[in-house]
Amino acid sequence: MANPNEEIKYTQIFINNRFVNALSGKTFNTMNPVTGNSLVALAAGDVADVDLAVEAALQAFQYGSPWRNMDASERGLLLSRLADLVQRDLNTMASLESIDSGRPFRDSVRDVKHCISTLRYYAGWADKIHGSTVPTDGDLLTYTRQEPIGVVGQITSWDYPIAIQAWKLGPAVAAGCTVVMKPSSRTSLTALHLAALTAEVGFPNGVYNIVTGDGPTVGQAIAAHPYIKHVSFTGTKEYAKSVMEAAAVSNLKKVSLHLGVNSPVIVLKDANVDEAVQIATHNEYANHIFVQEDIYDDFVKRAVEAAQARIVGSPFEKGVRQGPQINENIFKRVLNYIAVAQKQGAKLECGGNRVGDCGYFVETTVFSNVTDEMKQAMDEVYGPVQSIIKFRTLDEVVKTVNHSWHGLAAGLVTHNIDHALYLSRRLEAGTVWVNTWNTVAPQAPFGGYKRSGHGRTLGYEGIGQYLETKTVSIMEPSTPSHYCNGIAGA
């Protein structure tokens, strides 16, 4: 059951399985996007708090610690039991997510369920991560070990917070790493709840730590920490650059980046228009839709009908499909995009205004006659604004879409298998969805081409980033004459 008044129990930093104040005693307020008022005060971590969290994670990673002595199968069991606790707290966590982010409750429920399935998926991997034997020349026995890289830093964005936390926690813990995590300062509540569950389920002290606070302080301290071996960052490319710089200057730590999305949906003329509109608007509202000219007018008409039927409001109201923007900055940015689009000659078909006079609600907005030179066709809008762009041929749409700096994903709507294969091979995107949209599965790698990032999360590739490969070569003792030759050739 949705609970708009869900109690916010956890507001502090989480280190060594305990909630503690920031060393400075400082706090910051998170905002309620529905009202624009302050929601709750959270501990404002600083560099010293990150140092403490890293120290705890380092201790937990020492040889001989309960974590390092634990069987891999036991790690899997912990993840599986963590998933059980998230299932138990499903309504609490989904309510917290909606209160914090303004996401409609049914979408929050879907995200928490995605968190559960991701944890279960990685629970299964924990005791299946193994190296191989290698047929080296001579009498060497050579094998590889897949070892956890050590303490990892994880920084997440304000959107899909609980899902993305699981994308990072699951593989890192399955691999045997220890973690210092920073949730977005705009949406930290479910992250802290999940941390409490890691303690309840029996994660040893220091394995999973969370430092709340702002990006330039806490995020930067994680990226720059000399004892963190890998930092996994989800957010904008602007801050990704600071993370990469800090990672390079501090200790050349590995970096994986999960960045901006302005993924297109491409609707071919053979598509059923109603089905295509449903795919592009039903769950996640697609921003950039390329429609083949033969069905363009029909598509625009029905996309407008779908937009006007979309109920905008508080995440707990019945039937609501679209909540507020996360904060005032993003709200203003979306309205600015709408103003610029009109100036550049796009045709406003519906929406375009603020909804109500409090909080950060924007009407569901549809533009037609958008050309690919226009600002909102090229940039990430991050709001409920749809730009519908006409194209004629498959090669033309490939060229336009690939011209973008981004390449996280692309959607295709067509029942022509030849066209689906032709386009999916040529599009520069980490994922191509055909006749579906935004269906991210724990089992399948997910990540971007070009400026949408590097590295993959989810699937087995999601674990790979948290592992080091060690090669062990042993000269077999029964053939002592090979000792010198073998080693000299190494």
Using CB under 6 A, list all residues that contact ligand NAD. 155-160, 164, 182, 184-185, 214-216, 219-220, 223, 234-236, 239, 242-243, 258-261, 380, 408, 448, 452-453
User: Is the CB of 160 or the CB of 391 nearer to ligand NAD?
Assistant: 160
In 3-state terms, what secondary structure has residue 321? coil
Q: Return the number of the residue (127 or 284) whose C-beta is nearest ligand NAD.
A: 284
Q: Compare residues 453 and 486 and give the one whose CB is closer to ligand NAD.
A: 453
State the Cα–Cα distance between residues 212 and 150, nearest whole angstrom. Answer: 21
Cα–Cα distance for residue pair 164/160, rounded to 1 Å: 6
Nearer to ligand NAD, 107 or 159 (CB): 159
β-bridge mates for residue 431, sequence order: 409
* Shortest reach from residue 313's CB to ligand NAD, in Å: 23
Return the axis-axis angle of helices 90-101 and 161-175, rounded to nearest 10°: 120
Q: Considering beta carbons, is residue 158 or 360 the nearer one to ligand NAD? A: 158
Instruction: Tell me the closest approach of the beta carbon of residue 69 to ligand NAD, in angstroms.
Output: 33
What whole-number distance in Å separates Cα of residue 21 and Cα of residue 6? Answer: 22
* Backbone dihedral angles phi then psi of residue 150, each to the nearest 5 degrees: 130, -140
CB of 239 to ligand NAD, least distance (A): 4
* Number of Cβ atoms within 10 Å of the Cβ of 382: 18
Q: How far is the CB of 184 from ligand NAD (least distance, A)?
A: 4
Instruction: Tell me whether strands 264-267 and 288-292 are parallel, antiparallel or unpaired.
Output: parallel
> DSSP 3-state assignment of 232?
strand
The residue of the chain with the least Cβ separation from ligand NAD equals: 215
Angle in degrees, 0-180, between the axes of helices 161-175 and 189-201, rounded to the nearest 10: 30
Q: How far is the CB of 326 from ligand NAD (least distance, A)?
A: 8
Among all chains, which residue has been given the structure tokens 């989800």? Answer: 234
Cβ proximity to ligand NAD, 243 vs 341, nearer residue = 243
Instruction: Kindly state the helix (H) or strand (E) to which residue 474 belongs, with its residue range.
Output: strand 467-475
Helices (H), 185-267: 189-201, 220-224, 237-251
433-437: list long-range contacts, CB under 8 Å, 24+ apart. 433/409, 435/275, 435/279, 436/279, 436/411, 437/265, 437/279, 437/280, 437/282, 437/283, 437/284, 437/286, 437/411
How far apart are the C-alpha atoms of 122 and 465, rounded to whole Å? 14
* Cβ closest to ligand NAD, residue 185 vs residue 190: 185
Q: Least distance (Å) from ligand NAD to the CB of residue 161?
A: 9
CB of 245 to ligand NAD, least distance (A): 9
Collapsing DSSP states into helix, strand and coil, what is residue 356? coil
CB of 215 to ligand NAD, least distance (A): 2
As given in the structure block, the two tokens for residue 341 are 């689009």
Q: Which residues are bridge partners to 264 per DSSP?
A: 288
Residue number, 44 or 413, with CB nearest to ligand NAD: 44
Q: How far is the CB of 440 from ligand NAD (least distance, A)?
A: 8
SS3 242: helix
Residue number with CB closer to ligand NAD (92 or 287): 287
